[in-house]
Structures are given as structure tokens and as C-alpha cells.
Amino acid sequence: MHTVDNPACQPGGLRQQRSPAPVTTKRSNITCVNGAVPTTIIVAGLALAGYALLMTALNRRMSVPLLAAVGVLEILLLVEVGIIVAKLASGERPAGLATLIGYLIAAPLVPVAAALWGLMERTRWGPAVIAVAGLVAAVLMVRLHQIWPVIHV
Amino acid sequence: MSEPMAPPEPTGSQPDSTRTGPGRLLVAVYGLFALSASARAGVQIATKFHHAPVAYLLSAFAGVVYILATVTLAIGSPTARRIAVVSCSVELAGVLAVGTWSLADPATFPDATVWSSYGSGYGFVPLVLPVFGLLWLRRWTKRPRARRATVTSAEDAGEAAGGGVAHVEGGTPGRGAENVVTDGRT
């Protein structure tokens, strides 16, 4: 990953460990992602990815439970976007505002686009698309908090 | 090469186009990278171009290649498939060249590109993606040969499978003929 603007996020960065930072404890990861909602999104995204990959492995098509799980992820993402927009509205600004706004637009679109694209598929590869969306949601949360680590909600 | 009477796979799981079956996943991941690479390059070029011009221009180039691959894989016509092969090849060459360049000459890359260090910042997906893309395109363009021999049975089975493949049936003979011509099969 490219250089992160905010050095506060650097030591505990989940995805970049160039420096010999103390990343051995559980808490060090929370330096970057330190809120209930984003943590829930990461867990939910990874769980959705696991569930969807299992469906792919079992040769299942898209199903209602899988779509419901995508819906839950979508709601969580919208809540997170709402929290960040509220923070922006209160006058706070991150260093990379353009990037943040890009993420705010992209994040809620990911599950919707994946659901639509996956529903067009009549084979096991529909759930595989959903798995990608789950992973992307988790990665987006980590990146979001590298851009703007002040989000504590 | 194959028995005329037996399709290579059960028709239910047989992809009808480069965008169906495993291609569905491939197009999704390509679309993701098309969006992220081009959006990121756009922001970087607009806000801080002089910080790392080479890196940002390479990111923009990568974005264009990803967009091209996404669109052509999603279209899946013979011409689109040829463009897709070229863009996947350019992508593979790019990730190998830029990956090596970024390791040999880090000073040129104060900020990373999608392809820096062979795409390690993106979980090496940029390195793996063109390989799968080329394998998929290769496998798919081979199919019409086998299918040409079994075109009647394949179409019967396609009709039995339902309306989802209806639009493909019209295009199949054309694609088959096109491939026989381009392959120069004797």
C-alpha cells in the first residue's frame, strides 16, 4: 500500500508493517480501527466472505439468506457513512478530503453492485462475487481509518 | 479432439460468455481495480502531481488498462476478447516491469502505484489477476472448436436450461465461425 499520510496510523497499520512496530498485541490493531461500527463492519464483511465462499465451494447459487446478509452489511456501511458525514458537517476535516469523499461514495455502492452482478449469475460464481464484496468492505474500513483515524464511533 | 456426442462439461455449469461463470468473478474484480486504480490516480494527479509524477502516471495507465479489460471481458464478443487478451498481457507485463523497477529504483517511486512491488499493497491481486484473465480467455476461445462439432446438442441443452442463455444462442454460430477463421485450422 502507498504511503499513509497520517503517521499516527503507521505503527499499528494492519496492512503495512515495514517498520518493526509493536504489532504483536491485540490492541495494536485498534490504533487504526477503533470504533464499534467499523469493527462490526470488518467482522461482518469477513463473515459474509466466508459464508459466500462456502456457498461457492458447495456449488450453490445466490440465495435469500445470502442476500439478507448483504443487506445487513449495506445497512452497517450506510450507518458508518452517516457517522462520518455528521463529523464532516460539524466542521472537522481530514488531510485527504477528496479520497475520503471517494470512499464514502464507493463503500455503500460495493454491496449493491455485487448483489446486482451476482444475481445475474446462475451458477456458484454469484456467491463468489458476494465474497469479494465482503472482503472489500473490510478493507475499505481499514483504509478509511488510515485516511482519517479520528473516527472513534 | 473431443467426442462429438459429449459436450466437454455439463451444460448447466458451462459459461455462455466471458462474463458468466468464473468470468463473473473476474469481471467483478477487474471492475473493482478499474475503479480504485483510476479514481486514486485521478485524485493524486489532481492534488499532488509533482510529488511522484512517474508513479501517478503509471497508476493512471494501470487504471486505463483495467477499465479496458473490465469492459471487454464484460462484452465478450470476438473483437472484445482480442482486446481483452492484449490488455491482460499489457497488465501482466506492466506489473512485472513496474514491480521490478520499483524494487530496483525506489527513488522514482516516493509514492506507490498499483503495480509497485508486484502489487504487494493489494495482496498481489494485480499480479494474479492477468494470469487468471489470460487463462480464462484462452480456455474460453478454445471452446467453440469443441462446440462447433456439438453445436446442435449444445443448443438443445441450452434451450432446456432456460431463458437465461437465450440471448447467447444467436451469437454462438457467428463466434464459432469467427474462431475457425482466425485459428487457421487445417
pLDDT means over runs of 10, chain A (153 residues): 43 42 42 74 96 95 95 96 90 85 93 95 94 95 83 55
pLDDT on residue B48 = 87
How far apart CA B154 and CA B159 sit, in angstroms, is 9
Residues of chain B with pLDDT below 50 are 1-13, 147-186
* Contact between chains at B32 and A132 (C-beta distance less than 8 A): yes
- B101 in any annotated domain: yes
Chain B residues with CB within 8 Å of chain A CB: 12-13, 20-25, 27-29, 31-32, 35-36, 39-40, 43, 46-47, 110-113, 116, 121-122, 164
Alpha helix (H) residue ranges in A90-120 = 97-119
Query: Residue for cell digits 452482478?
Result: A117
Domain that holds residue B68: 19-143
pLDDT on residue B108 = 84
pLDDT on residue B8 = 41
Percentages helix, strand, coil for chain B, rounded to the nearest 5? Answer: 80, 0, 20
pLDDT on residue A80 = 93
Q: Which residue of A has its CA nearest to B113?
A: A2
CA separation, residue B171 to residues A102, B17, B139, B175, B178 (Å): 39, 10, 18, 6, 11
A15 touches chain B (CB under 8 A): yes
* Contact between chains at A106 and B39 (C-beta distance less than 8 A): yes
Alpha helix (H) residue ranges in A1-153 = 36-57, 64-89, 97-119, 125-147
- B26 in any annotated domain: yes
* Contact between chains at B35 and A1 (C-beta distance less than 8 A): no
pLDDT on residue A146 = 84
Q: Count CB atoms within 10 A of the CB of residue A16.
A: 17
- B67 in any annotated domain: yes
* Contact between chains at B25 and A106 (C-beta distance less than 8 A): no
- B131 in any annotated domain: yes
- B186 in any annotated domain: no
Total domains, chain B: 1
Record the cell numbers describing residue B31, joined without a space. Answer: 471492475
Burial class (CB in 10 A: 0-12, 13-18, 19+), A84: buried
pLDDT on residue A30 = 40
* Contact between chains at B164 and A122 (C-beta distance less than 8 A): yes
**pTM for the whole structure:** 0.73
